[in-house]
């Protein structure tokens, strides 16, 4: 049996083909444009997602026995607003997770409706990237488009709809809309009323491993797949990545160094950070998780390498970094504003501490360290709640860097487990497809059976102590600069 995992990212869709033993047979990636129509705005065309996903699936299964393909599932970029009209036309380009236009609406939700009420309704407060503020923005700024809305969905759920015809979502991704009662796993009546929408405009809710339907006959024909291929609900990218790294069950931890960066801690019990600096979401394993999300992680390194240094030689640039824990240059990683723990769309990136003898290598090192310090901010919130994981998995593009993994281990002072497959959301999606097709009885059992740890990066006491001192300095910079952004 074969299973397709679709990782709908911000720069590309990555698809992988996995067999029932967890072996990855093939990986295909297809890029699509990202649009910035105004400073701080970020949009994509859902039609591009589906077109490239369809092409990717055709390429993915071109050399296999297609009758063996049993299920397809998704890990998708979260929070994006996809709006369809009565004829299922996309009304406007999707407003993405890293879009910062909703400052006014976010302030209204947090300060007029009130953070206490929001937390009571949804277990979270409003962040600029969440879906509910986008709905309010559209209502206020594009009333004609708002009036046409028949269906509101999330990015990966648009793919599920196009493939199966099922208007669906699942709890992990829906948790990031600010429309879901996370604790009780149902749409919040209060938030629906606040946003001026109707429950019928929201999709049916599923668990991440549940089938939502099968391929539509015409789609199956186009893709060259059997019509009985099951479409499985899937998960938000971070929950899918957590499944793909076996970050399931109580107290497991994963750090993702993708376009955005996350600290993800799974839990069997529902809990809320009283300051709402961390998100409290449902997990793809059927339980819950706490998550700190920073908007720019590996994308900081990509910006530094591609746009500033004008190089693609990432590894060569990192080879010159040798003095860990001793860098006098600091970097604030807020290229797109920041979510956890500052909730400040106006935050901006900065280099601090440069002198005439500052080197290229020191600035490269500062970028990697700054992102890691930003994730440490979220770990400190978790620790304040009594959640103190001793080790973490790691995934995302940045996780392929041995240097960055070493920095993470010592900044966090945690053991960092490296897994055999670093495919994160796509691999987690394929595992969810296998569970949905009955190969495994639960997500937790599947993940723990299929995901293999191949190495561990241990923190070094002396280096961890140096980074502790540097982190204490780093966390003072944002409060000092906040009023000047």
Annotated binding residues for substrate, as ranges? Answer: 78-79
Residue 255 φ/ψ, nearest 5 degrees: -115, 130
Annotated binding residues, as ranges? Answer: 78-79
How far apart CA 228 and CA 1 sit, in angstroms, is: 13
Check whether the bond before 378 is cis (ω within 30° of 0): no
* 390 within 8 A of 414, measured Cβ to Cβ: yes
**Pairing state between β 253-257 and 391-395:** parallel
Sheet holding 453-457, edge to edge: 279-282, 288-294, 261-267, 253-257, 391-395, 415-419, 453-457
Residues annotated as catalytic are 237
How far apart CA 283 and CA 201 sit, in angstroms, is: 23
How far apart CA 306 and CA 253 sit, in angstroms, is: 31
**Which helix (H) or strand (E) is 405 found in, with range?**
helix 402-412
Q: At what angle do helices 424-436 and 237-244 cross, to 10 degrees?
A: 80
Residues 6 or more apart whose CB falls under 8 angstroms from that of 72 comprise 3, 4, 5, 6, 57, 163, 215, 229, 230, 231, 232, 433
How far apart CA 4 and CA 24 sit, in angstroms, is: 10
CA distances 368 to 78, 336, 383, 402, Å, are: 24, 16, 23, 12
> What DSSP letter does each residue of 202-265 carry, written as one string?
SPEEE-TTSEEEE--HHHHHHHT--TTPEEE--EEHHHHHHHHTT--STT-EEEEESSSEEEEE
Q: Which residues of 311-342 are buried (b: 16+ CB within 10 A; e: fewer)?
A: eeebeebbeebeebbebebbbbbbbbbbbbbb
Residues 6 or more apart whose CB falls under 8 angstroms from that of 451 comprise 22, 244, 245, 246, 419, 420, 421, 427
Which residue bears the tokens 């996350």? 262
Residue 453, classed as helix, strand or coil, is strand
Closest CA to 259 of 245, 275, 241: 241
Residue 234 φ/ψ, nearest 5 degrees: 90, -155
* 206 within 8 A of 212, measured Cβ to Cβ: yes
């Amino acid at each position: 049996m074969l299973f397709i995992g679709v990782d709908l990212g911000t720069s590309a869709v990555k698809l992988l083909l996995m067999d029932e033993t967890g072996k990855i047979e093939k990986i295909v990636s297809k890029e699509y444009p990202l649009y910035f129509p105004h400073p701080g705005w970020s949009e994509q065309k859902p039609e591009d997602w589906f077109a490239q996903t369809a092409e990717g699936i055709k390429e993915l299964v071109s050399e296999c026995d297609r009758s063996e393909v049993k299920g397809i599932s998704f890990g998708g970029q979260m929070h994006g607003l996809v709006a369809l009209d009565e004829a299922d036309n996309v009304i406007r380009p999707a407003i993405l997770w890293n879009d910062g236009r909703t400052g006014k609406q976010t302030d209204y939700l947090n300060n007029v409706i009130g953070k206490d009420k929001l937390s009571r309704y949804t277990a979270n407060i409003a962040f600029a990237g969440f879906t509910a503020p986008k709905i309010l923005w559209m209502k206020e700024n594009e009333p004609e488009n708002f009036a046409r809305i028949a269906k509101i969905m999330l990015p990966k759920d648009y793919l599920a709809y196009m493939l199966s015809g099922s208007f669906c979502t699942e709890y992990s991704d829906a948790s990031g809309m600010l429309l879901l009662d996370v604790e009780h796993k149902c749409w919040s009546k209060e938030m629906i009323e606040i946003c001026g929408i109707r429950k019928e405009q929201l999709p049916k809710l599923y668990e991440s491993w549940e089938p939502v339907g099968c391929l539509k006959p015409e789609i199956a024909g186009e893709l060259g797949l059997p019509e009985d291929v099951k479409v499985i609900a899937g998960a938000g990218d971070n929950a899918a990545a957590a499944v793909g790294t076996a970050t399931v069950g109580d107290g497991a931890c994963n750090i993702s160094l993708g376009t955005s960066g996350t600290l993800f801690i799974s839990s069997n019990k529902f809990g809320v950070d009283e300051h709402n600096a961390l998100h409290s979401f449902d997990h793809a394993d059927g339980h819950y998780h706490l998550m700190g999300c920073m908007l720019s992680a590996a994308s900081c390194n990509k910006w530094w390498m591609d746009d500033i240094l004008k190089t693609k030689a990432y590894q060569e640039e990192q080879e010159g970094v040798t003095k860990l824990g001793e860098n006098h240059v600091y970097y604030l990683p807020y290229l797109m504003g920041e979510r956890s723990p500052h909730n400040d769309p106006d935050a901006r990136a900065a280099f601090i501490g440069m002198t005439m003898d500052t080197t290229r290598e020191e600035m490269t090192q500062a970028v990697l360290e700054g992102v890691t310090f930003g994730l440490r901010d979220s770990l400190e919130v978790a620790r304040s709640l009594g959640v103190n994981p001793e080790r973490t998995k790691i995934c995302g593009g940045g996780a392929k860097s041995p240097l960055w993994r070493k920095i993470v281990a010592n900044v966090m002072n945690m053991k960092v487990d490296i897994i055999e497959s670093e495919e994160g959301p796509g691999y987690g999606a394929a595992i969810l497809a296998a569970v949905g097709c009955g190969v495994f009885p639960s997500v937790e059992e599947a993940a723990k059976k299929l995901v293999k740890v191949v190495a561990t990066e241990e923190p070094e006491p002396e280096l961890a102590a140096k980074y502790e001192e540097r982190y204490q300095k780093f966390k003072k910079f944002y409060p000092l600069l906040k009023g000047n952004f």
